[in-house]
């Protein structure tokens, strides 16, 4: 479904979910938790069952995004966030995303690694000895050893 000018598809708006088949209704109601969930959500059981059935029949449908006015939020007992709180949340989210993409600080080794290619029992030929490493080893090695 799209408008006549070839624009974005129309979004279907439902005031309530459409009724479902008796078989699907029986299947949903066979779960003893359905009535409890509907009560927890403060929804009429029939509406809840039809809503669950609608999403079972249409698995690709995303739930609608609802915009509620501040006045209605207050009537529902929810304190709407201030503009500053929303901005702070957005900034914190952006910083968290940046931190997740930032380099860890680990750097690859700058010096060559030791390559051991000799077979067992053969002497390993050392190439390109790092003079700083050799000096450090000699300082730390006890005299008369090796």
The reported pLDDT for the residue numbered 25 is: 92
pTM for the full model?
0.38
Alpha carbons 118 and 124: distance in angstroms, whole number: 6
Q: Express each pLDDT in 127-145 by its tens digit.
A: 777 788 878 888 888 776 5
Give yes or no for residue 92 having a pLDDT over 80: yes
List the chain domain ranges. Answer: 22-64
53-84 in b/e burial notation, b at 16+ Cβ within 10 A? bbeeeeeeeeeeeeeeeeeeeeeeeeeeeeee
The reported pLDDT for the residue numbered 5 is: 47
Alpha carbons 43 and 74: distance in angstroms, whole number: 19
The more confident residue out of 9 and 56 is: 56
Report how far Cα 93 is from the mean position of its chain's Cα atoms.
13
């Amino acid at each position: 479904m799209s408008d006549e000018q070839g624009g974005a598809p129309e979004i279907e708006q439902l005031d309530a979910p459409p009724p479902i088949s008796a078989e699907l209704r029986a299947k949903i109601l066979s779960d003893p938790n359905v009535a409890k969930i509907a009560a927890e959500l403060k929804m009429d059981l029939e509406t809840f069952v039809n809503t669950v059935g609608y999403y079972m029949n249409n698995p690709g449908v995303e739930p609608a995004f609802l915009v509620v006015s501040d006045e209605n939020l207050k009537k529902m007992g929810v304190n709407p966030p201030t503009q500053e709180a929303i901005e702070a949340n957005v900034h914190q989210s952006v910083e968290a995303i940046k931190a997740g993409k930032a380099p860890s600080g680990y750097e690859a080794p700058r010096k060559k690694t030791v390559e051991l290619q000799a077979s067992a029992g053969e002497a390993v030929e050392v190439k390109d000895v790092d003079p700083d490493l050799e000096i450090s080893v000699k300082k730390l090695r006890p005299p008369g050893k090796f």
